[in-house]
């Protein structure tokens, strides 16, 4: 081989080795760079399709509810057929169903959810008015039952098989299986109305007593908040406990925990610094899912305790039926679940690099 032949670069390579634009070098790097954006695009597209399905389902589903909203709007008065027809024209109920559906979808895509029959106000205004009350209730309950579930689930797994583990897990399963409205009524009977000579300690319902200001108002709202929050926490913490316990039990046999103990680390330090962070991945996913589900599932609790939030508003709208308000609330509840599920999917690859590749 001549010197010129030896020094000539091989085709597809440079003096420093394989060409940077060659297929072998470019392929994996391009896939890695575009994998997560493709993953995000797929999840966002799936969420959009789900939201569209909710929009269609909500429109047709609530038109199966018995009752005539036009008769409700007359207030029970005897009105003529011409007046009933005028009401139907005013709210577009005289149009063919397909026309009502296209009008509803077109307005919903622009943020216009229609006008409430019973309140004669834009649906979006009624939702905005009640949303802070629901967020106060669900947010407080969510923080408490998530923290309680993780704490008790961690302790139950670390001491699995002992009496405390069996009793704690059994209680969590029992409370998780209870209907929230039944537990709420039981708490009202025992702690609000009182049994026998025992006085009621908490209000039976509502959000405030009225007439309070400043710190007294805050304490009054907190007093009304206790029983609905206790109901939600009691019913919901069990799921977080069981998922945390199961995930931590799977981690406890890992070699890195044995190594940590062999280094002389205390048992609680091994649990807190090594086992729990690695076991929280399923729990993190559950946290986001529960956040959306709690907002959507608060209807019964708010109805039982007469809490002026989205759940109580939904119950009022169903009794009419107030179709624009029912459809708007149904869309909000479903959107909360879809949004939190999508957010959990998008954050999951940050905790587990294997996802989204």
Alpha-carbon distance 35 to 231, whole Å?
43
For residue 31, the model assigns a pLDDT of: 43
Look at residue 210 and tell me if it is in a domain.
yes
Residue 102 is assigned to a structural domain of this protein:
no
Task: Report residue 232's pLDDT band, with 50, 70 and 90 as the boundaries.
Answer: very high
CA distances from 23 to 34, 38, 63, 224, 248 (A): 16, 21, 58, 66, 43
pLDDT tens digits for 271-307?
666 677 777 777 877 888 888 878 777 888 998 998 9
11: pLDDT strictly greater than 50:
no
Confidence of residue 251 (pLDDT cuts 50, 70, 90): confident
Q: In this structure, is residue 26 part of a structural domain?
A: no
Given a cut of 60, whether residue 6 has pLDDT beyond it is no
Contacts of 9 (CB under 8 A, 6+ apart): 15
- Lowest mean pLDDT, pick from 74-88, 91-105, 132-146, 161-175: 74-88
Q: Tell me the CATH number at 341.
A: 1.10.3720.10
Residue 12 resides in a domain = no
The answer to whether residue 16 sits within a structural domain is no
Range of the domain at 132: 45-67+113-351
Q: Say if 81 falls within a structural domain.
A: no
According to the model, what pLDDT value does residue 60 have?
A: 83
CA distance 50 to 46: 6
- Count up the domains in the chain and report the number: 1
89 pLDDT above the threshold of 70: yes
Among 23-32, 148-157, 218-227, 267-276, where is mean pLDDT lowest? 23-32
- Between the alpha carbon of residue 192 and those of residues 125, 187, 216, the distances in Å are 33, 7, 20
Could you tell me what percent of the chain has a pLDDT over 70? 79
* Per-residue pLDDT tens over the stretch 124-169: 999 999 999 999 999 999 999 999 998 898 888 878 888 888 898 8
Residue 75 lies in a domain: no
Domain membership flag for residue 165: yes
- Chain centre distance of CA 119: 28
Q: Considering only 17-21, 49-53, 166-170, which range has the smallest mean pLDDT?
A: 17-21
């Amino acid at each position: 081989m001549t010197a010129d032949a030896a020094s000539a670069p091989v085709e597809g390579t440079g003096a420093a080795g394989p060409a940077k634009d060659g297929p072998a070098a470019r392929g994996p790097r391009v896939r890695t760079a575009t994998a997560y954006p493709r993953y995000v695009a797929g999840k966002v597209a799936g969420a959009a399709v789900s939201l569209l399905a909710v929009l269609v389902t909500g429109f047709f589903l609530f038109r199966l509810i018995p009752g005539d909203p036009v008769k409700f709007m007359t207030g029970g008065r005897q009105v003529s057929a011409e007046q009933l027809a005028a009401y139907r024209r005013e709210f577009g109920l005289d149009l063919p169903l397909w026309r009502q559906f296209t009008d509803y979808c077109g307005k919903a895509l622009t943020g216009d959810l229609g006008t409430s029959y019973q309140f004669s106000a834009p649906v979006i205004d009624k939702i905005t008015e009640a949303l802070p009350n629901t967020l106060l209730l669900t947010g407080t309950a969510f923080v408490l039952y998530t923290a309680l579930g993780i704490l008790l689930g961690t302790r139950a797994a670390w001491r699995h098989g002992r009496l405390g583990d069996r009793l704690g897990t059994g209680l969590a399963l029992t409370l998780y299986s209870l209907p929230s409205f039944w537990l709420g009524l039981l708490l009202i009977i025992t702690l609000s109305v009182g049994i026998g000579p025992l006085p009621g300690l908490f209000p039976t319902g509502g959000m405030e007593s009225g007439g309070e200001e400043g710190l007294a108002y805050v304490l009054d709202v907190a007093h009304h908040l206790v029983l609905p929050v206790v109901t939600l926490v009691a019913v919901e913490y069990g799921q977080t406990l069981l998922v945390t316990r199961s995930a931590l039990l799977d981690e406890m046999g890992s070699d890195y925990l044995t190594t940590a103990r062999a280094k002389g680390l205390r048992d609680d330090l091994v649990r807190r610094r090594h086992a729990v962070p690695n076991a929280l991945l399923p729990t993190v996913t559950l946290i986001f899912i529960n956040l959306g589900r709690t907002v959507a599932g608060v209807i019964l609790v708010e109805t039982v305790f007469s809490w002026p939030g989205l759940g109580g508003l939904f119950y009022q709208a169903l009794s009419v039926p107030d179709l624009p308000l029912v459809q708007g609330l149904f869309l909000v509840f479903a959107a909360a679940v879809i949004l939190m599920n999508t957010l959990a999917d998008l954050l999951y690859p940050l905790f587990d690099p294997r996802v989204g590749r």
